[in-house]
Amino acid sequence: MSDGRVALVTGAGRGIGRAIARRLSAEGCRVALVARSRDQLAETASGCAAAVKTIPADVTDPDAAERVHTEIERDWGPVEVLVANAGAGHSARLERTTDADWQRMLDLNLTAPFRFVRRAVPAMRAAGWGRIVVMASTAARIGEPYIAAYTASKHGVLGLVRAAAAELARTGVTVNAVCPGYVDTPMTEQTIGTIVATTGRSPDEARETLARKQPIGRLISPAEVADAVWFCVGAGAVTGQAIQVDGGTVQ
């Protein structure tokens, strides 16, 4: 099924995106890697098994989706598997969340995925086959203190997934969200740094605090998130779903 499929992964420079890109490559996809850092893209590409293309881009640029897709189509043809993974978090008390903080979360976590999905859909619809996976979060399902802007953006992107899945249900195109909990990635390291700075706990104590939030008592590995993405690629009857990879946090 995956042999030679054209895949696009945003946020592929590190962490979850790197694990997803390498998993898709190992399964035989040709993978276009998108991130801001050329060096990180090169490192991801070095661990890929099949053909890869690196495209440095800031996904919040309004022209990024068009430019990236056009380059892929020129060399490989239309994108068949889109993984909109690029994202970031923000933590602050509600009254300390600025308009700029709010807008940055919406731009990166909601508007950018929308643009990439919108650009990918016509070719997928025409082909009668496509897979779209958007990286959400447990914050797409529940609310927690101090992450209002992040939570709003992730709730919004889950709404995008559900609406797109309903619209495309009869076309052969599936649209799903993967919702990780705390994953052992640079983004979680930033969260740990924030906890250390605001509470005075040690990094190990902060890490243990996050691990204990998940019933399995540990952080999720990026490879475990990539497993869920690959499931979505293979599962033609699964669409419109928010697939939790969170150690049992949200049931």
Q: Which of 76, 150, 182, 230 is catalytic?
A: 150
- Give Cα separations from 38 to 11, 41, 81, 152 (angstroms): 12, 5, 22, 30
φ and ψ at residue 206, rounded to 5 degrees: -65, -40
Q: Are 227 and 22 in contact (CB under 8 A)?
A: no
Residue 99: half-sphere exposure toward Cβ, Cα within 13 Å: 0
Secondary element (H or E) of residue 222: helix 222-234
Angle at the Cα of 7 from the Cα atoms of 1 and 111, rounded to 5 degrees: 135
Please state, as a whole number, how many other Cβ atoms lie within 10 Å of the Cβ of residue 64. Answer: 20
Q: Are 10 and 181 in contact (CB under 8 A)?
A: no
**At CB < 8 A and 24+ separation, what contacts does 21-27 make?**
21/48, 21/52, 22/47, 22/48, 22/49, 22/226, 23/223, 23/226, 23/227, 23/229, 23/230, 24/81, 24/83, 24/229, 24/230, 24/233, 25/49, 25/50, 25/52, 26/50, 27/2, 27/230, 27/233
Strand-pairing partners, residue 174, are 131
- Could you confirm whether 146 is annotated as catalytic? no
Annotated catalytic residues are 150
